[in-house]
Amino acid sequence: MRFATGMVLIDAPHSALNMLGIDESLADRNVTRVKTFRRGGKRYPYVSPQAWRYWWRFTLKEHFNWELSPLYREQKQVFTAANPLKYPDDDVFGYMRAFKKGGVNVTVTRVSPLKNTPLISILPDRNSITIDEGYASRHEGDPVPYSQEFYSTVFKGAFSLDLDSVGRFTLLSKAGFKNLLTWDDIPRDKKGNPKKGTEDVVNEIKEMERIAEELGVVKRYNEWLMPSEIRKKRATETIKALRFLTGGAKQSQYHTDVTPKFVMLLNVDAGINPFISDLVFEEKGEIRFDAEALAKRLADFKEIIPEDAKLYIGYDAGFVRSLGWDVDEIAERVKGDIAVFMGAVGEVVEEFAKEIEAYYG
């Protein structure tokens, strides 16, 4: 099992990318707060994992013409079409549809091959958050005061894409693995025909089978497998989208470029991510990189790093200069354990995608 793993740093020099909203606990109720969480004795701003995933999905639509799965609402649930054959985002981002339709349990769920952390500020709130005091005055009468927090920090996020799960759909009767409906899900009458009221579900299964035949999907026991070219395209485009990442709230006022300014990418043969934890950390208000810790971690995980795999380090020269990092020194420290490819973020992402393509053959 092969996983494409990575860590990204997003520079947010003056931003409010994913806000908590109005703080109702305050008397004047006019303060827009930053999302934070506590770790130890400090609080850290963060961008929620679902916000990052929304940006990622939207970027795939805008730059790679992905037809995104439509949203439906049933009772109190909102869910996608749950059709991973037709919609690549259902394949890569997973889904859960759990309800009955026409008396038939049409529950299908898919564990997302793409997993990601929240984007977490490296600097704690005391070193990153400020508050802007403003007045709304474009109306008659007295100006109305309001306040909103924003931050200046660098966000760190990590992800893992399960390459074996992309384009592979399981039929196991188990949460997360019942990806598709089958004919066994349709109740029958005494003559063996689908019962009345199941027409919508029957049509859904017929449509899925039609698409499967059209695309050349291989049907095995308890799983369907899409052709390698489609799986390769979906996996590599998911990774390539990182270099064009677009999104974030309050862009009209704070205008932040959320494309990663530093990335580390590596294929591993296990469901772990060697970049999670404190390789990048805050020390006395500065953002540091622990090359020694990275080298030791890669050495510790050498059994799960494929023989031909490289560590890819992509960086924006201005960004690493502003942090005082020496990227050559980082690469030099780990070179004894693994081959390293360095370059601009876009160049590195493209090279890493080639390694993923080779995995699919």
pLDDT value at position 240? 98
Assess whether pLDDT exceeds 80 at residue 97: yes
pLDDT value at position 316? 97
Burial annotation 244-255 (CB, 10 A radius, 16+ → b, else e): ebbbbbbeeebe
Could you give the percent of the chain with pLDDT greater than 90?
77
Where residue 65 falls (left for φ over 0; alpha for ψ -120 to 50; beta otherwise) is left
Could you give the percent of the chain with pLDDT greater than 70?
100
Q: What is the pLDDT of residues 16-75, one digit of tens each?
A: 999 999 887 777 778 889 999 999 999 999 999 999 999 999 999 999 999 999 999 877
Per the prediction, the chain carries an average pLDDT of 93
With a CB cutoff of 8 Å and minimum separation 6, the contacts of 185 are: 104, 105, 106, 201, 205
Question: Could you give the 3-state DSSP secondary structure of residue 340?
Answer: strand
Assess whether pLDDT exceeds 80 at residue 76: no
Q: What is the CA radius of gyration of the chain?
A: 24
**Distance (Å) of CA 230 to CA 161, 210, 217, 226, 360:** 16, 17, 10, 7, 10
pLDDT value at position 169? 97
**Nearest one of 264, 359, 256 to 312, comparing CA atoms:** 264
Please tell me the distance from the alpha carbon of residue 356 to that of residue 361, in angstroms, as a whole number.
9
Mean pLDDT of 291-306: 94
Q: What is the pLDDT of residues 303-347, one digit of tens each?
A: 999 998 999 999 999 999 999 999 999 999 988 779 999 999 999
Mean pLDDT of 5-12: 98
User: Could you give the count of Cα atoms lying within 13 Å of 261 in the half-sphere of its Cβ?
Assistant: 20
The count of residues in the chain is 361
**Nearest one of 360, 264, 263, 266 to 308, comparing CA atoms:** 266
Q: What is the DSSP letter of 242?
A: G
Assess whether pLDDT exceeds 90 at residue 206: yes
**Distance (Å) of CA 286 to CA 2, 9, 210, 320:** 35, 15, 57, 12
pLDDT value at position 352? 98
Mean pLDDT of 97-126: 91
pLDDT value at position 133? 84
Assess whether pLDDT exceeds 90 at residue 138: no
Q: What is the pLDDT of residues 245-285, one digit of tens each?
A: 999 999 998 999 999 999 999 999 999 999 998 899 999 99
Q: Which residue type is seen at 349? A: V
Structure tokens at 271: 């469901």
Structure tokens at 204: 């859904």
The residue to which tokens 């560590």 are assigned: 311
pLDDT value at position 100? 80
Domain ranges of the chain: 1-13+118-125+151-163+227-360, 49-114+168-225
196 vs 18, residue with greater confidence: 18
pLDDT band at 144; cut points 50, 70, 90: confident
Please tell me the distance from the alpha carbon of residue 323 to that of residue 330, in angstroms, as a whole number.
14
pLDDT value at position 166? 98
Q: Which residues pair with 262 in a beta bridge?
A: 9, 315
